Structure 1
């Protein structure tokens, strides 16, 4: 009976939606693992949507957020004083031996006459800087008539007749075998960045963004003012080490706080704009340094405005996302209501009442999760390689510029000032092409210029200088973009710890470049730069795009936010699934999955239900 068979055959192939409805009606506890995983991701996304709805009611970029971003701009403007101070307080000085012994027999001699009688000269007529004639007991007329012949090293210190300002060099006599080493000071500063990134990254994730920012401000005040009162060069290095720790602590903590208060395109815009203030700060520092007669005044006047930042204790809010992942729901509601009040908005109580901790035992997250969590480990290693390449390439380009005769000050100041338009262009590129591919393009351009320079003939110095400058601008812009991208990419519970690890990779790249250029042939530096660039560009494909994506707050959400389950189901199927399994809360879904892994339940993995026609047919067979 063919007419009776056709209806049965059609019923034996039900649609996906009808099958779900049949399963839910007849076997409410026999959900598949795939559906439960989808349900968990649906729950997690809904939790993010709740917070997004609250931020929508709060106002995406109202007066409160604008004030918060401004509070991040001001420290960046002042931080330049400490970042680039060595360029101005250790300017090159010509030192001559102190030969005041001759004043005992010729007290009326001018400085020029004194040097002419007591210092030997080079063949070109200039004075030798680190040698002097051996003192004698003759009278002045005999010295003038016969002259002095025997020389020795400086025994009574040095004088600096051509110097108009007091610097670290003539303060501590860093000359003649004890020369000031920019590489040593830069290495000490980078070491402070390494340790500070780890310490403050841990503190910020454990005790909060707000106390970490205040602690770093106190550190800047202590070590900034302390630098103005040091008595030796070793003390100067120690205080530079301390202030660099505080600077990086403030940078990553305030960056995390800004990102966690903003939504959408405002996150990246705020970070990139705040980085632009480094260029303005460099202009301010240049004018201030050249107008001051003493290097100690630079640190005194540069640190004094930081005292204003202590007022953050009254106006700086804690991150509501961080409060939530730490289980402090009531405190999160309080700061959200405070922000809404400043924006002259009202958050509905129905939204605030739905706010809850995003997961269980979230406070147990630690730096070890960067190893144990496969997705987090993969992303961190890829970004770490990229940050190492950026730091290595930028430092290499800067040192190459000095090799062409450009003074250390100009090799840092010129790219720093021109970095503002490059960073502003990043805002447009971020919105047009997304985070990942914009950064890949900037990294490729900067690194390519670094690798191209060795193949340019040495006679074309202007061309090489132009290539170096283009590479520096590209890499300076990529640093700002990487900060914004990394802050969006990392989960809230470990955001500053991750930023600290990535800053460590960037500082390591700088230190490796500095060491290789100083102690090894140039080919080794170029080889490492080439390898790291190829590796970094090849790893970009595993990094997710974060443009217009929600934040991952805890590790449980980190992997699920990197993919979307809407590709598995159509919109109608997803709506049906939500209706059918809406009663399955997060706890039930997790317990069901746990039981399935410990003791498999045939019902949990049961095949699709058979229709009545299929059952009858099987029995007849």
Structure 2
């Protein structure tokens, strides 16, 4: 081979001054050969460890079983969008007026308008003041009408909402006149649930499995999602929203891991893309439902009721065979693979199935500390965390900026829902043409650019600003989808869910940062943070390897194989024999190592009588 010929020394010199160069050339030749053999060993092990992909090919790349699995992950995503965005519609703006029913004791026949006219002070423009009332007096109705009331105080007997047609949390729990709960505080509570849920359910999915974690997440949606309709106090509502956000992130992490580990090649990315499209459909479903229902409790009752049929997932949802294999459950993995092949009307050759073996090392030792100890995992987590922070911060900045345009609340939700579906479908083309890494870079760059333009452009250009928001939503939606696909393929099976949970912390951090900065009404800081985070994220993305058409890493020992450069990859393919076995390669490496040690010893041992060696006795 050319690599070996480059390392050979063709002419042997007997001159003392050239003897050292000859030894150095021989050592260099030995090191080159040893390095190539080591690469050959790594390439052979990579091919052996990818046996699971061959088994999935025998099961059927995208047969009936896989299509059914994808559909099962679609359905809950509609409900995820419903529960995530429900706060927008239950905290609608209200116009409260003090309850002055005390005057009905002296004037029971007064209409609501007459009652308000006698008991409520007015603004300079003639409208009624919302949080003040006239002090009650022990007069008769004629005296009140003749002399009027002068002394005001804050509301004593609650509030009334005469202009409100729908029942929301605001008028249910009287969150007005100093008791307001703005959307920023609600979003902070929801984000806190994402923070804790990312850690809890990520670890749980890797320790207990994808199947039980998904079931527990669906149970959380039933208890905390549907159960929100029955809360009696506002603090109970906050607690239930905290619980449902944990269940949401738990399902998202586990379902992405399950789809990633069951599907191969382009089917994996297509499934996750369609799963996210159904999330956008759920946003539009919520918007239509909220517009038609008159009570916020009905919204949770009707929208949360479809969670109950998901109980049948107990009997039909499969576990990830990769996870079973990595956790020492070889027979269970074989059984579920044979079942999947039977559904697809395929047969797995016994010779191929028997090649599935338990990992050589105990994978139970893998823990969250490996994200600090393992250099590759640490790099992936930090880079993806930076990307996730940037996407989250930019997305929430766009959402809060859109509120400044005084658009209808339903219209503000419909625009992103409509734009996100084609954005995610466009990811199919991007992923196939330029791969995972550059698809993420392109979508992130475009989304960040739109966010910067929105923050810089004057607010008078309303139509242009709305267009920029739509394009920003389009790009960031694509970034979210590519991010999940790329991150799931970068992480090993034994820590895939835990890694997704850790990078989800960065999403929560970005959301909280956006909430805090926007609430401070600062002008330059949002732009500065957006620029800095985007530049770092785009730079770090270039350091990650491409995962398209690469085998999924399962254990930590496989993970460095995904980070080889192209030259090493080609060299490994060139050196690796077509029919060579792992034992042959290992023996070759050991023999080469021993020969290198022997040659090193001989090269430093003088041989009497050899030409070119100086005899001490001649000195």
- Note whether the superposition's TM-score is higher than 0.5: yes
- Pair 1:606–1:302, CA change in 2 (3 A): farther
Determine helix, strand or coil for the equivalent of 2:583.
coil
* Whole-angstrom distance in 1 between the partners of 2:332 and 2:316: 16
Q: Given the superposition, is the C-alpha separation of residues 158 and 323 from structure 1 closer, same or farther in structure 2, using an over 3 Å criterion?
A: same
For 1:476-505, what per-residue CA distance to the aligned partner results, in whole angstroms no more than 9, with x for missing partners? 221111111111111111000010011110
* Alpha-carbon displacement from aligned partner over 1:239-276 (angstroms, at most 9, x marks no partner): 00000000100111011001100000011111111101
Distance of 2:597 and 2:390 partners within structure 1: 48
CA distance in structure 2 between the partners assigned to 1:268 and 1:608 by the alignment: 51
State the SS of the aligned residue for 1:554: coil
* Aligned pairs (5 A) from 1:150-169: 150-169=151-170
Aligned to 1:198: 199
Residue 111 of structure 1 and its aligned partner are, at CA, apart by 1.0
**Equivalent residue in structure 2 for 1:569, among 559, 568, 571:** 571
Provide the residue aligned with 2:89 in structure 1.
88
**Alpha-carbon deviation of 1:403?**
2.2
Contact conserved, 2:214 with 2:254, CA < 8 A, in 1?
yes
Correspondence 1:198-597 to 2 at 5 A: 198-519=199-520, 521-563=522-564, 567=569, 569=571, 573-575=575-577, 579=580, 582-584=582-584
Does residue 107 (structure 1) correspond to residue 108 (structure 2)? The answer is yes
**TM-score normalized with structure 1 length:** 0.89
**Matched residue SS, 1:132:** strand
CA distance, structure 1, for counterparts of residue 540 and residue 316 of structure 2: 41
Deviations 1:258-309 (A, max 9, x none): 1100000011111111101122112211222222222112212222211111
1:66 match = 67
Judged with a 3 Å threshold, the aligned counterparts in structure 2 of structure 1 residues 145 and 364 are, in CA distance, closer, same or farther, namely same
Question: How far apart, CA to CA, are the structure 1 residues paired with 2:32 and 2:325?
Answer: 31
Pair 1:571–1:342, CA change in 2 (3 A): same
Find the aligned partners of 1:219 and 1:106 in 2 and give their Cα distance: 52
**CA displacement, residues 385-422 of structure 1 (integer Å, 9 cap, x when unaligned):** 01101101111111111123235554344213321111
Give, in angstroms, the shift of residue 609 of structure 1: 12
Q: Evaluate the alpha carbon distance shift between residue 589 and residue 289 of structure 1 in structure 2; reply closer, same or farther with a 3 A threshold.
A: farther
Residue deviations 1:307-364 (CA, integer Å, cap 9, x gap):
1112111001110111111121111101100110111111011111110123311111
Q: Is the 8 A contact 1:325 1:357 kept in 2?
A: yes
Please say if residues 325 and 358 of structure 2, whose CA atoms lie closer than 8 Å, have aligned partners that are also in contact.
yes
Q: Structure 1: give runs of 5+ residues left out of the alignment.
A: 1-7, 14-29
> Partners in 2 of 1:96 and 1:129 — Cα distance?
5
Alignment check: 8 A CA contact 2:287 2:410 kept: no
| Cα 1:168/1:457, change in 2 over 3 Å | closer
Say if 2:281 and 2:417, in contact at 8 Å, map to a contact too: no
Q: How many angstroms apart in 2 are the aligned matches of 1:513 and 1:423? A: 24
TM-score normalised to the size of structure 2? 0.89
> In structure 2, what is the Cα distance between the partners aligned to 1:602 and 1:40?
16
CA distance in 2, matches of 1:474, 1:516: 22
CA distance in 2, matches of 1:573, 1:152: 88
Task: Say if 1:465 and 1:572 are closer, same or farther in 2 by CA, change over 3 A.
Answer: closer
C-alpha separation in 2, matches of 1:365 and 1:131: 62
User: Aligned partners of 2:428, 2:400: CA distance in 1, in Å?
Assistant: 29
**Gap change, CA 1:171 and 1:51, over 3 Å in 2:** same
Judge conservation of contact 1:87–1:409 (CA < 8 Å) in 2: no
Q: CA deviation at 1:602?
A: 6.0
Measured in 1, the distance between the counterparts of 2:304 and 2:377 equals 38
- The question of whether the paired residues in 2 share the 8 Å contact of 1:224 and 1:300 is answered with no
Following the alignment from structure 1 to structure 2, what is the Cα–Cα distance between the partners of residues 217 and 618?
Answer: 81
Question: Could you say which residue in structure 2 is the equivalent of 1:4?
Answer: none
Query: Could you say what secondary structure the match of 1:228 adopts?
Result: helix
Distance 1:326 1:520 in 2: 51
Aligned to 1:307, the other structure's residue is in SS state helix
User: Number of matched residues?
Assistant: 585
Q: Secondary structure at the match of 1:152?
A: strand
Q: Deviations over 1:444-491 (max 9, x none)?
A: 111112222343233322222221221122112211111111111111
DSSP-derived class of the 2:577 partner: helix
Secondary structure in structure 1 of the residue aligned to 2:576: helix
Q: State the match for 1:23 in structure 2.
A: none
Q: How far apart, CA to CA, are the structure 1 residues paired with 2:41 and 2:219?
A: 44
For residues 9 and 421 of structure 2, the distance between their equivalents in structure 1, rounded to whole angstroms, comes to 70
What is aligned with 2:57?
56
Tell me, in whole angstroms, the C-alpha distance in 2 between the residues paired with 1:620 and 1:304. Answer: 92
| Alpha-carbon distance, 1:72 to partner | 0.6
Question: CA 1:109/1:422 → structure 2, altered by over 3 Å: closer, same or farther?
Answer: same
- Which residue matches 2:16? none
Question: Cα distance 1:617–1:219, how it changes in 2: closer, same or farther (>3 A)?
Answer: farther
| Unmatched tracts of structure 2, length 5 or more | 1-7, 14-30, 614-619
